[in-house]
Amino acid sequence: MLQSFLTGANMLAAVVIAMLFWECRNRTRDRLFGFFGLAFVLLALERVGVEILTDNPHSILYVIRLIAFL
pLDDT of residue 60: 77
pLDDT of residue 46: 86
Indicate left, alpha or beta for 55 from its phi (over 0: left) and psi (-120 to 50: alpha). Answer: alpha
pTM recorded for the entire structure: 0.80
How does pLDDT run along the chain (70 residues), one tens digit per residue?
A: 888 888 889 999 999 999 999 999 999 999 999 999 999 999 898 888 878 876 666 777 788 888 888 8
Going by C-alpha positions, the residue among 43, 44, 24, 42 that lies closest to residue 34 is: 24
CA distance 50 to 56: 9
